[in-house]
Structure 1
Amino acid sequence: MKAYIADLLMLLVTIFWGASYLFMDMGLHSLSEFNLIALRFGFAFIIVLPILFRRLRRIDLNILKYSFILGFILFLVFTLITFGLNTTTTSNAGFLISLTVVFVPLINTFILKRKLESKIIISIVLSMIGIGFLTIQFPFHIKLGDLFCVMAALLYAAHIIIVSFAVKEVNPLNLGMLQLGFTGLIGLVFSLIFETPALPSTAKGWTAILALSILCSALGFILQIVAQKYTSATRTGLIFSLEPVFAALFGYLFINEVMSSGQFFGAFLVLFSIIFMSAGKNIRVFKLKRMQYKE
């Protein structure tokens, strides 16, 4: 495969991920939060199951342990996102979740006890200012959904860092597929406890679930694994930084979300901080692992 084809595949995956916020918002009109997570990841796991069956000999207790831990974190991430979308826009969610790209090197710096490099400090400051323009409204208040999305970005950063350790011990492809199953299973358990699980009752609900399962999770995951072998980490990181842009675009085109001039400026600062970070070696681990484990 030529590098430009791999880049186009990564761009397609990024479009899927940008659209995922719109599909989650659509699904929440007919499904409860935990039910949506259970169906999305449950169907995605069923789709990749034929591939997983052929790789059963490579599955042991160690990979099951890591898969459960990562699946549980992923469940928390999407719980925060789905509940957050009840009180924030898909545009805000896309830009706030993308802060993962800033949180990963920041957490790694504290774990490794290294001094913060100037590039990290500049990116953090820019992103924090951008968050302020995106989320603070007057009279002064911040929507709970925005805070949920920032917390989700922080948790997903932790997910990425754990993955960076896990893939040194277990097969990455098996890990990625199994975590989908655990995420769906945990979502089903919580749905059974706190909700009444059900299949979508509307065409809109089915569209959302199938798109999330097939395009954003199962197909997106497979395309990542294939394309990552033929393009550079730097180019991939820059392509992935377009995800919040697509989230805002889909929100505008399909549900008429319009950002104010202040929010546009905040979105620009967040996006610029992400691209600024992605251009450096500090984000290399994140870009490689995000390709493998984005849902």
Structure 2
Amino acid sequence: MSGVQGNQIQATRRADVQMLLATVIWGSSYLFMKSGLASIQELNLIALRFGIAFIVAGILFHRRLRSVDHGTLLAGGVLGTALFAAFVFITYGVQRTTASQAGFLISLAVIFVPMLMMVIRRRLPDKRLSVGIVVAVAGLGLLTLQHEMSLHLGDLLCILAALVYAVYIILAGHYTPKHDPLTLGTIQLGVAALWGIVATFLYETPQLPDTPESWASILGLGILCSGLGYILQTLAQRHASPTRTSLIFSLEPLFAAAFAFIFQGEFLTLQGYCGAALMLAGVLITEIKLSQPVFRRRKRPAL
């Protein structure tokens, strides 16, 4: 093995550890959001969490921000806008469903990433991807469709959040190898915070948390889940593809369900657990063989 190959393997492993740590942190975010939303509104919460994250990151990496170039500013603006859009759906969705169920539904981003890549590359999916999608959709039905056979609003919002977050993962995979990850990560947090502040003044009444529990939740969201989590993701995606990133992200619902069970005593029904298991199985079927191509070229018709 050459020195270059060894360095690449080390970089990939380091990226995996960074993404896994971010995923564990994000697993706790649903509980923090539930607690924070008890005293403030959704857009207000988004503005505070990303505002706090930007302030902390700005203090730590202020020297890098002094020499930021226009390309990094533009990339950070695009990523920050996509991140804000995803969290509008996530925050409204979490308010209207359970923390554990939200975690599983938002993990559908892992399925949406290869589906969107299929559209971008104009290639048909292979059998593994097709089977994985079918299994995941079957699990989604068991998890979300109750006796009245309809999706609740919170479930639908979380699914939309997964789609928008998949777009964010693909954009991050495009921009992060081209720019300094710490600078890019800090700028995207600032842009997401700016969008949150504007939306709060337009559609809500700005306010601060009024209980110690709510403050603890907002600080946890800002410093850990947004600040540390998205800086880690930005660092990781310099050496990991969107598909590999989404595979590790698929573990988030397990941590979300574990945190919800430990701290809130949340349980799924037997049907829900079966659906969650099928969703994870679909994710693993889709992504586990990373060394094989996920897409095959469309065959040309014979002349």
Would you say same fold, with TM above 0.5?
yes
CA–CA distance in structure 2, aligned partners of residues 284 and 49 of structure 1:
39
Deviation digits for residues 85-140 of structure 1, max 9, x if unmatched? 22211111101111111111111111111111111111111111111011101122
Instruction: Tell me which residue corresponds to 1:94.
Output: 103
Alpha-carbon shift at residue 72 of structure 1 (Å): 1.4
Aligned to 1:34: 43
Aligned equivalents of 2:64, 2:135: Cα separation in 1: 44
Please give the residue correspondences for 1:170-189 in structure 2 after superposition, counting only pairs within 5 Å.
170-189=179-198
1:44 aligned partner: 53
> How far apart, CA to CA, are the structure 1 residues paired with 2:216 and 2:122?
46
**Hey, what's the Cα distance between the residues in 2 that align with 1:168 and 1:223?**
14
- State the Cα RMSD in Å: 2.9
Q: CA deviation at 1:12?
A: 3.8
Counterpart of 2:142? Answer: 133
1:246-265 counterparts in 2 under 5 A?
246-265=255-274
1:126–1:188 distance in 2 versus 1, CA, 3 Å: same
The structural deviation recorded for 1:75 is: 1.0
1:151 aligns with 2:160: yes
TM-fit CA distance, 1:20: 0.5
Partner of 1:62: 71
Unaligned runs of 5+ in 1: 286-295
Tell me the amino acid that sits aligned with residue 200 of structure 1: P
- What letter matches 1:172 in structure 2? P
Match status 1:266 vs 2:242 = no
Aligned to 1:241: 250
- Asked whether the equivalents of residues 104 and 160 of structure 1 are also in contact (C-alpha less than 8 Å), the reply is yes
Give SS of 1:193's match: helix
Structure 2 CA distance, aligned partners of 1:123 and 1:282? Answer: 17
How far apart are the structure 1 equivalents of 2:287 and 2:233? 18
Q: TM-score, normalised by structure 1?
A: 0.86
C-alpha separation in 2, matches of 1:60 and 1:3 = 27
Q: TM-score, normalised by structure 2?
A: 0.84
8 Å Cα contact 2:250/2:280 also seen in 1? yes
Number of residue pairs matched by the alignment: 285
Higher deviation after alignment, 121-130 or 211-220: 211-220
Partner of 2:271, secondary structure, is helix
Which moves more between the two structures, 235-244 or 96-105? 235-244
Q: Name the residue aligned to 2:27.
A: 18
Alignment of 1:81-230 (within 5 A): 81-224=90-233
- Equivalent pair of 1:58/1:171 in contact (CA under 8 Å): no
Structure with max Cα Rg: 2
Identify if the C-alpha distance between structure 1 residues 221 and 164 changes in structure 2 by more than 3 Å, giving closer, same or farther.
closer
Is 137-146 or 212-221 further displaced after alignment?
212-221
Partners of 2:272 and 2:164 in 1: CA distance: 24
* Residues in 2 aligned to 1:164 and 1:231: alpha-carbon distance in whole angstroms: 8
C-alpha spacing 1:22/1:121, structure 2 compared with 1 (3 Å): same
